[in-house]
Amino acid sequence: MTLAAATSGRTAVPARPRIAIVKFASCDGCQLTLLDLEDELLAIAERIDLVEFAEATSQRSSGPYDVLFVEGSVSTPEQAEEIVRLRAASTLLVTIGACATSGGIQALRNWADHDLVRAAVYPDPTMVDSLATATPIADHVAVDAEIRGCPISPAQLREFVTALLVGRRPGLPDEAVCAECKRRNIVCVAVARGITCLGPVTRTGCGALCPAYGRGCYGCFGPRESANGPGLARWLERDLPPADVARAFALFNAWSPPFRTVIDEAGGPPGPIDGRPTPEASDAHH
C-alpha cells in the first residue's frame, strides 16, 4: 500500500494503528524527535498503539505493524536481512532521517577502501562484520514515505502522524529551502554575503534554520525535487576549488544521487581514503 492509499481513507489505516519505531545504523536522534512532541505526545499516544519504541519503552514486538518508522542506514549483513523481514511485516514503511533516506554521514565510507576505514576505527577490525557501503533503506526494500532531515523536524513528524490518522495528504513540501527563506524575509546569505549555501538544492522542512542565523544551508534535509546539484556546483566553482565545493555536498546526504554526482565529479569526498581525517580537511567548510 502506498502512502496515497494509506491517507485516502479507503484502504484505511485502523482507527488505532499499531506503530513501531526501529533503528539501523544511526544515532537515535530522529526517533527521539517523537518525544520532542511534548505538548501533543499524550494525545497522539491515545490514538496509536506504540508496540515498539526502544527510546521510551522496553516493549518489543515482532509485528505485524500498520506503520513502521525506520531510522538508520543498512550497514551490516544482518541489517540487510532484517529490513526485508520488517518490510514483510509492515503495511506502511516510513523512513525517518538522513541515514534511512540517503545513507547518512556514514555513507562517506562508500567512497573509501572498506578495510582501511575499519582499520582506522577499530583496533581489531576482524571482529567487525560490516558492509562496504552504508545505504538507504530504499535501496533494499520499497518505502512508502520519507520524513527527511538530520534530525527530522518535530513539526513534520506531527504533521505526518496527524495526516495519517485523519486520512489526508501530509503537508511535507518537497520544494527548496529558498522558498522558506523568502517567505520568512530572510536575506539570501549566498547573494548578499557570498556564503556557500545548499538551500537551492535542498528540501525545506527545517524552516530555513541556518540562513536565519546568517549561515549557509548544510543540506540536512537532502535533495529537493529537481535538485540541480551540478548546476549549483558549477556556479560555486567560480570562486572555490572543486574540492571545497565537493566538501559542501559531502555531509549527511552525500550519497543521495544529486549530491553524489557533484562529489563524484570532484573524485570523491576530499580527504585521505584511510578514513582518518586530516586536520585541514575536517574543518574547512564549517
Partner 1 sequence: MTTRPEPPVAHDDPPRFLPRAELDRLFGALRATGRTVIGPTIREQAVTYDQIDGTDDLPIGWTADTAPGTYRLTRNDGVRAFDYGIGPTAWKRYTHPPRIPLTVSAPSPVGPTVAPVTPDAPPLAFVGVRACELAALRIQERVMRAGPAGDVDHAARRDAALVVAVECAVAGSTCFCTSMGTGPEVGEGADIVLSELDEGFVVRAESGPGQVVVDALRVDAASDDQTGRATAQVAELRETMGDPVPTAGLPERLRAAIDHPHWAEIAERCLACTNCTLVCPTCFCTSVGVASDLDGQAATTDRTWDSCFSLGFGRVAGDANFRPRVADRYRQWLTHKFSTWWDQFGSSGCVGCGRCIAWCPVGIDVRAELLAVAPPHAPAGPIPWPVAPPDGHAPAPLATVEPARYVETEVTDVRRETNDTVTLRLATDDAALLAAQPGQFVMVAQPAQSAPPISISRILPDALELTIRHVGPATASLTAARPGGRFALRGPMGRPWPIDEARGRDVVIVAGGIGLAPLRPVLDAVLRDRPRFGAVRIFHGARTPADRLFVPELAALAGRVDVEFAEIVDRAGPDWFGRVGVVTQLFEHATWAGAGATAFICGPDRMMQATVRGLAAHGLSADRTWVTLERNMACGVGLCGHCQLGPYFVCRDGPVFSVAELGDAFTTEGL
Chain contacts with partner 1 (rule: CB under 8 A):
4, 7-10, 40, 43-44, 47, 159, 161-162, 165-169, 171, 173-176, 178-179, 182-194, 197, 199-201, 214, 225-226, 228, 231-232, 234-235
Please list the alpha-helical segments (H only) found in 103-228: 114-121, 154-166, 177-183, 189-193, 209-212
Q: How far is the CB of 256 from partner 1 (least distance, A)?
A: 16
Strand partners, 176: 203
Q: How far is the CB of 45 from partner 1 (least distance, A)?
A: 11
Q: How far is the CB of 46 from partner 1 (least distance, A)?
A: 9
**Closer to partner 1 by Cβ: residue 44 or 56:** 44
CA distance 83 to 87: 6
Q: How far is the CB of 111 from partner 1 (least distance, A)?
A: 25
Contacts of 187 (CB under 8 A, 6+ apart): none
**Closer to partner 1 by Cβ: residue 189 or 245:** 189
**Closer to partner 1 by Cβ: residue 161 or 263:** 161
**Closer to partner 1 by Cβ: residue 25 or 186:** 186
Contact 189, 216 (CB under 8 A): yes
Q: Which residues of 255-269 are buried (b: 16+ CB within 10 A; e: fewer)?
A: bbebbbebbebbebb
Residue pointed to by grid coordinates 534511512: 100
CA distance 122 to 28: 22
**Closer to partner 1 by Cβ: residue 228 or 261:** 228
Q: How far is the CB of 184 from partner 1 (least distance, A)?
A: 8
Q: How far is the CB of 169 from partner 1 (least distance, A)?
A: 5
**Closer to partner 1 by Cβ: residue 231 or 241:** 231
Q: Which residues of 112-142 are buried (b: 16+ CB within 10 A; e: fewer)?
A: beeebbbbbeeeebeeeebbebbbbbeebbe
Starting at the earlier edge strand, list the strands of the sheet with 49-53.
Answer: 49-53, 18-23, 65-71, 90-96, 145-147
Task: Specify the 3-state DSSP secondary structure of 72.
Answer: coil
